[in-house]
Homo-oligomer: A and B are copies of this chain.
């Protein structure tokens, strides 16, 4: 019913013309469904929640393959209609929200695997990460890293969101050389081109929110699929938990995938795990390879009490511990109390414990740390997504400034542009150059890369 859809859509874009141009590419024009699919998890941020309220695409296209993507891209370029990509839409920065309406390109039906080789896989962007692991695991491999949303999120969305997660304690983030081997993209031009970006060049689509090209294939390196054990350790003292976690993290002989120290009262909000999170005690949530469990306990020594140790299982209906870590911690708390939000910190590797202690003491009961041990540029350090008891936007910005003035870098999750959420408040020349090539009219996810000036109009 394209006619009806066009009638309800805002007149600013030629949606009728678009629908005609793309032929049989599957679309949704039902505005209620379009509006629902135009959202991601930006509502973790009270700031973004206000700012992005009501933003919606005019139509959702759901390509079946690269040819469909090319048809959509060509039509958008010709008709100058914005095009915003989405995968699982589990991001938290509104990166999948079409700020200027237009076409929402839902890539979740592109789920094919091109090939697998030992330690490598090449696949379509819409494949869910859990489904990807299910296919590579029988060959002894799994993704090197995944977000806490692994069971809902797609590999393309993860790469376009650009971060790290469970596994980054071994491999660092997606930004480290070798963690994205290649990406194939489609440009948004009247005659779209298909470009293969390999190694360094593939970084041009990492954390670009789809602004620098539409990802149609990814070549990802894999890690050995160990038998993981989910472990909870309870401590009387938070800093003892951090110290013990650091020792395990630094022990290169202990195979692990996750080490997350969390301060009380965070675990109070973990309903399903109450039996394993004693009142008033700080915890470490960890994933340890079965082969290293005994050595893990040896490093803990007499510190802490293991309250939980179960084979890791993230099949449907199971509850993997990683869904209490990274930004899922925020979600677990939000289920009971909407009065909080969060930040994204990176602690300095060369005075890690001191810095963690300083920040913990600076905001008692206002900023509640849970730390993620990660490698960053080859050094072990901590990122953190602390729970923040939210009062005002002003106070939130003050907390950010206080972190930064004490050497803790903040990737602000309360902004929609790539630049404002980045380390250097700027987009690199590589990504800007790629943007000019792939998106001359500035149609790809407009509003997210604010420093880009379209090279054509």
Contacts and interface: CB of A to CB of B under 8 A. Distances in A.
B377 A226 contact: no
Given A298-B199, A378-B380, A253 B291 contact: no
Interface in A171-192: 171-172, 176-179, 181
A296 B377 CA distance: 15
Interface stretch (A15-23, A37-45, A63-71, A244-252): A244-252
Interface string A215-227: 0000001101011
Interface string A111-130: 00000011110000000000
Contact of A252 (B140, B227, B292, B378): B378
Interface of A, secondary structure class, is: mixed
B291 A119 contact: yes
A127 B296 CA distance: 27
A118 B404 CA distance: 45
A292 B221 contact: yes
Nearest to A301: B200
A135 interface: no
Contacts of A253: 144, 171-172, 176-179, 221
A177 B378 contact: no
28 contacts: A117-B291, A118-B226, A118-B227, A118-B290, A119-B255, A144-B253, A171-B252, A172-B252, A176-B252, A177-B251, A177-B295, A178-B254, A178-B292, A178-B295, A178-B299, A179-B253, A181-B295, A199-B294, A199-B297, A221-B291, A221-B295, A222-B291, A224-B224, A250-B378, A251-B378, A252-B375, A350-B350, A379-B380
Given A177-B253, A178-B292, A198-B294, 7 more contacts: A144-B253, A176-B252, A178-B253, A178-B254, A199-B297, A221-B291, A379-B380
